[in-house]
């Protein structure tokens, strides 16, 4: 199996960091850190017995959490990783502000109850639709986000990605979303569109940041897909949305190479685009079911080797119209190259 992978890209130019916890509406939208501005992590889904789950991403995140000085915000669809639970409790005992939002479906698990017993207030969405985010903001500067739920299964058994980003202005977006959920109890399509910096530059790289379902993200992704000139590669836990699926098929019909890996379980529904894409019978449109006997949980599209779309957002109507989700779009070939390497590994393990 592939080894646990961490990739770090250094900034081409280093400038002074912004102050911690800036005002949410503070300009400018050009942001960078004084050293590394992102680290990309992919899980190694060997799924050892629970008492042998050590050395994974949960421990890396916990160590980063323990560096917090002022405030930690966590939006977690599902959360049971013991090192992270321990870290949040330690922060609370040290006087660091800790805010947690979770989905109602997972609000009664023992990890959440343990947080509450230790004085950490946990807000749940109390809706049928999902609070599906998986993000952390540390001291108004560092963001963790991606496809990974903060659970031992997601970290040790499922194919997932998670990216740590150093950017105060991007962090302001996630803080604004957290404020809507934690303070205002606003979820899903009833949330205001209040992202202060949805278009920004970090370390010379153009980044877009959107939150569903107050913003309709599927049409944005569909438009980007429709602009592909050479190739599209994707990994999809669930893929049913027409705006994205039809755009990919149209590009393939026009000669663009399209390759995709579907999570097997999700691909077996009548609404999945797996069957539609197989039915096209185009040599340049190739799709496979994943090879992980548990779950392939990525939600990633890479366009022309330079634009990477990732986050919590499954390519579905519920994600677009009902859930709470976040998406990042990074326009940079170096950033994309690491996701392409993960794609190739997942593709090679998939069922042919």
CATH number at residue 177: 3.30.870.10
- Which distant-in-sequence residues (6+ apart) come within 8 Å of 62 by Cβ? 81, 83, 84, 86, 87
Closest CA to 68 of 99, 47, 41, 39: 99
Q: One of 106, 132, 134, 299 is an active-site residue; which one?
A: 299
Q: Quick one: 183 and 131 in the same domain? A: yes
Do 88 and 35 share a structural domain? yes
Specify the DSSP class assigned to residue 188.
G
Residues 60 and 141 in one domain: yes
Q: What is the torsion angle, in degrees rounded to the nearest 10, for the CA atoms of residue 185, residue 73, residue 316 and residue 208?
A: 110
304 in active site: yes
- Residue 164 CA, chain-centre distance (Å), reads 10
Judge whether 80 lies within some domain: yes
Asked whether residue 48 falls in the same domain as residue 10, the answer is: yes
pLDDT at residue 128, as a whole number? 96
Please indicate, yes or no, if residue 336 is contained in any of the structural domains: yes
* Strand order from edge to edge, sheet including 30-31: 30-31, 199-202, 205-212, 325-331, 307-311, 299-303, 231-236, 257-262, 285-289
Statement to judge: residues 33 and 154 lie in one domain: yes
pLDDT reported for residue 139: 98
Q: Give, for all 352 residues of the chain, the pLDDT tens digit.
A: 333 344 333 332 222 233 333 333 333 344 433 348 999 999 999 999 999 999 999 999 999 999 999 999 999 999 999 999 999 999 999 999 999 999 999 999 999 999 999 999 999 999 999 999 999 999 999 999 999 999 999 999 999 999 999 999 999 999 999 999 999 999 999 999 989 999 999 999 999 999 999 999 999 999 999 999 999 999 999 999 999 999 999 999 999 999 999 999 989 899 999 999 999 999 999 999 999 999 999 999 999 999 999 999 999 999 999 999 999 999 999 999 999 999 999 999 998 8
Same domain, 317 and 171: no
Domain end marker among 191, 226, 249: 191
My answer on whether 177 and 240 are in the same domain is no
- The catalytic residue among 216, 304, 306, 331 is 304
State residue 36's pLDDT score: 81
Structural domain count of the chain: 2
Spatial CA neighbour of 215 closest among 106, 327, 125, 291? 327
Measured CA angle at 7 (ends 6, 9), to 5 deg: 150
- Whether residues 157 and 65 share a domain: the answer is yes
Provide the CA 115 distance to its chain's centre, in angstroms.
23
Asked whether residue 203 is domain-assigned, the answer is no
Nearest to 216 by CA among 104, 322, 65, 63: 322
In a domain, 205, yes or no: no
Do 164 and 283 fall within a single domain?
no
Residue 321, domain extent: 217-349
Confidence (pLDDT) at 352:
83
Residue 16 CA from chain centroid, whole number: 27
Going by C-alpha positions, the residue among 260, 349, 314, 352 that lies closest to residue 46 is 349
Q: Identify whether 169 is a catalytic site residue.
A: no
Distance CA 146, CA 312 (A): 6
DSSP 238-301: SB--HHHHHHHHHHHHTT-EEEEEE-HHHHTSTT-HHHHHHHH--TTEEEEE---SS-B--EEE
**Nearest Cα residue to 251 out of 234, 269, 272:** 234
Last residue of a domain, one of 148, 175, 191: 191
Residue 286 lies inside a defined structural domain of this protein: yes
Catalytic site residue 233? no
Q: Which of 106, 134, 241, 297 is catalytic?
A: 297
pTM listed for this prediction:
0.91
* Helix orientation angle between 217-226 and 242-253, rounded to the nearest 10 degrees: 0
- CB contact at 8 A, 115 and 122: yes
Task: Examine the domain organization and report whether 39 and 183 are in the same domain.
Answer: yes
Terminal-to-terminal C-alpha distance of the chain: 18
Give the per-residue pLDDT at 67. Answer: 98
- Domain-embedded: residue 225: yes
Q: Is residue 211 part of a domain?
A: no
Specify if 221 maps to a domain.
Answer: yes
- For residues 219 and 243, the answer to whether their CB atoms sit within 8 Å is yes
What pLDDT is recorded for position 34? 34
Same domain for 91 and 48: yes
Instruction: Please check whether residues 266 and 324 belong to one and the same domain.
Output: yes
């Amino acid at each position: 199996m592939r080894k646990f992978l961490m990739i770090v890209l250094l900034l081409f130019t280093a400038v002074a960091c912004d102050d911690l916890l800036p005002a949410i509406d503070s300009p400018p939208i050009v942001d960078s850190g004084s050293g590394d501005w992102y680290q990309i992590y992919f899980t190694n889904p060997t799924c050892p017995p629970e008492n042998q789950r050590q050395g994974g991403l949960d421990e890396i995140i916990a160590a980063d959490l323990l560096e917090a000085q002022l405030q930690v915000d966590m939006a977690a669809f599902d959360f049971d990783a013991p090192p992270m639970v321990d870290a949040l409790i330690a922060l609370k005992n040290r006087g660091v502000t800790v805010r947690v939002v979770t989905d109602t479906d997972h609000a009664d698990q023992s990890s959440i109850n343990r947080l509450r017993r230790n004085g950490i207030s946990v807000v749940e969405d109390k809706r049928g639709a999902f609070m599906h985010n998986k993000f952390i903001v540390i001291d108004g500067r560092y963001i963790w986000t991606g496809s990974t739920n903060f659970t031992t299964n997601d970290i040790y058994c499922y194919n997932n990605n998670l990216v740590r980003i150093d950017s105060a202005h991007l962090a302001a977006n996630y803080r604004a979303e957290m404020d809507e959920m934690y303070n205002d109890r606003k979820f899903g399509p009833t949330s205001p569109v209040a992202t202060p910096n949805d278009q920004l530059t970090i370390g010379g790289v153009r980044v877009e940041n959107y939150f569903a379902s107050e913003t309709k993200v599927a049409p944005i992704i569909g438009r980007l897909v429709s602009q592909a000139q050479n190739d599209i590669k994707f990994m999809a836990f669930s893929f049913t949305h027409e705006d994205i699926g039809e755009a990919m098929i149209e590009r393939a019909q026009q000669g663009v190479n399209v390759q995709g890996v579907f999570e097997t379980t999700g691909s077996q529904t009548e609404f999945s685009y797996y069957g539609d894409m197989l039915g096209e019978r185009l040599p340049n449109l190739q799709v496979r079911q994943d090879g992980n006997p548990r779950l392939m949980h990525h939600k990633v599209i890479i366009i022309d080797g330079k634009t990477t779309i990732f986050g919590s957002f499954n390519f579905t109507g519920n994600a677009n119209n009902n859930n709470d989700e976040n998406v990042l779009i990074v326009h940079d070939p170096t950033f994309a190259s690491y996701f392409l390497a993960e794609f190739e590994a997942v593709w090679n393990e998939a069922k042919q």
